[in-house]
Chain A
Amino acid sequence: MNRRNFLKNLSLLGLSWAIAPVWTFAAERTVAPEDFCLNLIIDDSASAIPLLEKLLARHLPAEKNLKFAEYPLRGSHLADFVLIENRRVVDYRNVDEELAKGVYEVAKNLGLPKKVDNPVLLKFYTEARPRLVQTLNILGNDILIKRLSLTDAAGAQQSENAGGRMTLVIRNKSAQITNAPCRHQTCRQIITAAGQNPVCIFPQLRRSREGKEESNFDGVTF
């Protein structure tokens, strides 16, 4: 990859981060030196995922826990990989290392980089231990609008989509919707009643919480 393309990809990744600021870890989190993240913006996830499954199974150590996430993106994007190891972006096309070479092979296979419309962001990443931080995803019509760290982003936050504007207040690692763009205000009641997992159906805005507590539960009954 030449320097221009590399910088272009970095700026693209910056756009992804603007949508998905996943790096806002809380102070109590121990920074793991082995942090790994492979982002791919692609319009054909069905072709890409099997290739990446094989690649990562081959190159990642057995003790690593690899997490996978997929988010739809809106608009025109440059499809390409961004590889991050030890919290540093790796120019995978110019590094003499097995995993980077593998990523380069997959990129060639998929014809990257290329311009695509309404792609998905695939993210494979590891963490040294279950995260203490919880991230808030705000989705409108199932499109990711904003991601917020519940620990870093204290105070009022606003999200907007075609359905209107929603205001939520983040404090004490939890979020409360204080204003929704509809007469129903159902999401506010759901939060009050259940304490978590609110869904606002009417303006097609919903939020989900990501990340696991240290206790590592798979589900909670309430």
Chain B
Amino acid sequence: MLIYAGEARLLCAQAANSSLFEVSATQSWFGTRVDLLAQHESIQACKQAFYEAFREMARLEKLFGAEMPESEMRQINQQAGHTPVKVSAETLGLIKRAAEYAQKFSVALEVAAQPREELGGARRGLPNTKPELMRNAACRALADYAEIIIDERDTTIAFKHADLQLALGDIVRGYAIDRAAAILKQQGIKNFLITADGDIYAAGRKDENQKWRVGIQHPRHPNALMASFDLSDGAVATNSAYDLYGANNDQRDPAPPCQSVSVLAASAEEAEAWAAYLFAIGFEAYKKIATPQTPAALFVDADGRIHWEAVWEKNYRLKFWD
């Protein structure tokens, strides 16, 4: 059962006679909240499309949830260090892309394998699992993507090391958002916004005069926004120190290289991967690797200074708040 809250905007006289309704739905997924928001002339059509999108996300939760009884991810983890596990092309494809991101970025992203002990920490709900992965050299070595054996011909996944487990956390959220977006488009919904735990994908526009308006949360003040921008036909993901470390961010040693980074990309999966990577390396390192092909990023560095490219203002109407 979904909860819908919508807003209808009646078009002006020269527009079509039909009215557009703004309909939204909320559902929990993988322990977080997912919001779908759409502009459409039919509330019922939105409800049907939302139902299909949430059903797809529920399917992915069953497929990729490390704790789901029948998930392929659970089977891979149970057989770590022992037997290759036959998986679906979809699972193989996502793990392969995750490993490729890890290889491309040369850091131990959480998309790669996590040591079993660390994953246990995450299961118990202990904070700071992800940052520890980044910092601990031993963990970094263990979490090497090279530990994953991907056999594309036999469609099997295996781990070289018995102490490793897969947790596709953020990357699977990005993938699920992209799948939900594809479902909504298939269902004829052209103007919509998907939000899942701070990751956002926008398609079309809010109305004929305005794109979807997105706020960026302040990394030190979770109840405040520091900026806003317009988004259409693309995704944004943010990694922030507050989200990862909580309020005691200042006491960490070493301090994170930046307070937060927001990344714009064509897909939510890509935005997620880049946000994790750029948060790990910080703004100074980003300046050295940035090319015209690198996704646009907005950094709040460790000292609280904000850095962004001109494209944010030119194409996305970036505005800062006091």
Instruction: Give chain A's interface residues, CB within 8 Å of chain B.
Output: 46, 49-50, 53, 56-57, 60-72, 124, 137, 139, 142-144, 174, 184-186, 189-190, 192-197, 199, 201, 206, 208, 210, 215-222
> When the two chains form their complex, are residues A194 and B21 in contact, meaning their CB atoms are under 8 A apart?
no
Q: CA of A220 to CA of B228 in the docked complex: distance in angstroms?
A: 9
Contact with A along B180-216 (1 / 0, CB 8 A): 0000000000000101011110100010000011111
Are A221 and B33 CB-contacts (below 8 A) given A69-B5, A137-B3, A215-B228? no
Contacts A195-B222, A219-B35, A219-B195 known; 12 new A-B pairs at CB < 8 A: A60-B10, A61-B10, A62-B13, A70-B3, A71-B3, A144-B3, A186-B125, A197-B33, A206-B33, A215-B228, A219-B214, A222-B238
- Is B19 located at the chain interface by the 8 A CB criterion? yes
A185 to chain B: which residues have CB within 8 Å?
A: 125
- Is B316 located at the chain interface by the 8 A CB criterion? no
B223 to chain A: which residues have CB within 8 Å?
A: 174, 195-196
Are A46 and B44 CB-contacts (below 8 A) given A206-B28, A221-B216? yes
Q: CA of A88 to CA of B34 in the docked complex: distance in angstroms?
A: 36
> From residue A111, how far is it (CB to closest CB) to chain B in Å?
20
- Is B26 located at the chain interface by the 8 A CB criterion? yes
> From residue A55, how far is it (CB to closest CB) to chain B in Å?
11
Chain A-chain B contacts (Cβ-Cβ < 8 Å), number = 153
A174 to chain B: which residues have CB within 8 Å?
A: 223
Q: From B90-98, B155-163, B240-248, give the one contacting chain A.
A: B240-248
Among A57, A68, A193, point to the contact of B6 (Cβ < 8 A).
A68
- Is B11 located at the chain interface by the 8 A CB criterion? yes
- Is B294 located at the chain interface by the 8 A CB criterion? no
Among A46, A49, A216, A219, point to the contact of B200 (Cβ < 8 A).
A219
Are A65 and B3 CB-contacts (below 8 A) given A174-B223, A194-B222? no
A65 to chain B: which residues have CB within 8 Å?
A: 7-9
Q: In the complex, what residue of chain B is closest to A173 when comparing beta carbons?
A: B223
> From residue B91, how far is it (CB to closest CB) to chain A in Å?
23
> When the two chains form their complex, are residues A218 and B26 in contact, meaning their CB atoms are under 8 A apart?
no
A67 to chain B: which residues have CB within 8 Å?
A: 5-8, 22
Q: CA of A185 to CA of B200 in the docked complex: distance in angstroms?
A: 27
Q: In the complex, what residue of chain B is closest to A189 when comparing beta carbons?
A: B125
Are A195 and B7 CB-contacts (below 8 A) given A217-B213, A221-B199? no
B12 to chain A: which residues have CB within 8 Å?
A: 62
Chain B facing A: main interface SS: strand
Instruction: Give chain B's interface residues, CB within 8 Å of chain A.
Output: 1-13, 18-19, 21-23, 26, 28, 31-33, 35, 37, 42-44, 125, 127, 193, 195, 197-200, 202, 206, 212-217, 222-223, 225, 228, 236-238, 240, 242-243, 246-247, 262
A57 to chain B: which residues have CB within 8 Å?
A: 8, 10, 18-19
> When the two chains form their complex, are residues A53 and B225 in contact, meaning their CB atoms are under 8 A apart?
no
> When the two chains form their complex, are residues B42 and A53 in contact, meaning their CB atoms are under 8 A apart?
yes
> When the two chains form their complex, are residues A68 and B3 in contact, meaning their CB atoms are under 8 A apart?
no
> When the two chains form their complex, are residues A221 and B236 in contact, meaning their CB atoms are under 8 A apart?
yes
Among B2, B127, B217, point to the contact of A193 (Cβ < 8 A).
B127
Task: Give 9 nearest A-B pairs by CB, closest first.
Answer: A195-B222, A222-B217, A68-B6, A66-B8, A222-B198, A57-B19, A142-B1, A219-B195, A217-B215
> From residue A81, how far is it (CB to closest CB) to chain B in Å?
17
> When the two chains form their complex, are residues B125 and A184 in contact, meaning their CB atoms are under 8 A apart?
yes
> When the two chains form their complex, are residues B43 and A53 in contact, meaning their CB atoms are under 8 A apart?
yes
> When the two chains form their complex, are residues A219 and B37 in contact, meaning their CB atoms are under 8 A apart?
yes
Among B3, B26, B215, B236, point to the contact of A215 (Cβ < 8 A).
B215
Q: CA of A71 to CA of B242 in the docked complex: distance in angstroms?
A: 34
Are A222 and B10 CB-contacts (below 8 A) given A72-B1, A189-B125? no
B216 to chain A: which residues have CB within 8 Å?
A: 220-222
> When the two chains form their complex, are residues A49 and B217 in contact, meaning their CB atoms are under 8 A apart?
no
> When the two chains form their complex, are residues B23 and A62 in contact, meaning their CB atoms are under 8 A apart?
no
> When the two chains form their complex, are residues A56 and B8 in contact, meaning their CB atoms are under 8 A apart?
yes
B213 to chain A: which residues have CB within 8 Å?
A: 215-218
> When the two chains form their complex, are residues A139 and B243 in contact, meaning their CB atoms are under 8 A apart?
no
> When the two chains form their complex, are residues B198 and A68 in contact, meaning their CB atoms are under 8 A apart?
no
> From residue B289, how far is it (CB to closest CB) to chain A in Å?
22
> When the two chains form their complex, are residues A68 and B37 in contact, meaning their CB atoms are under 8 A apart?
no
Q: CA of A215 to CA of B8 in the docked complex: distance in angstroms?
A: 18
> When the two chains form their complex, are residues B42 and A221 in contact, meaning their CB atoms are under 8 A apart?
no
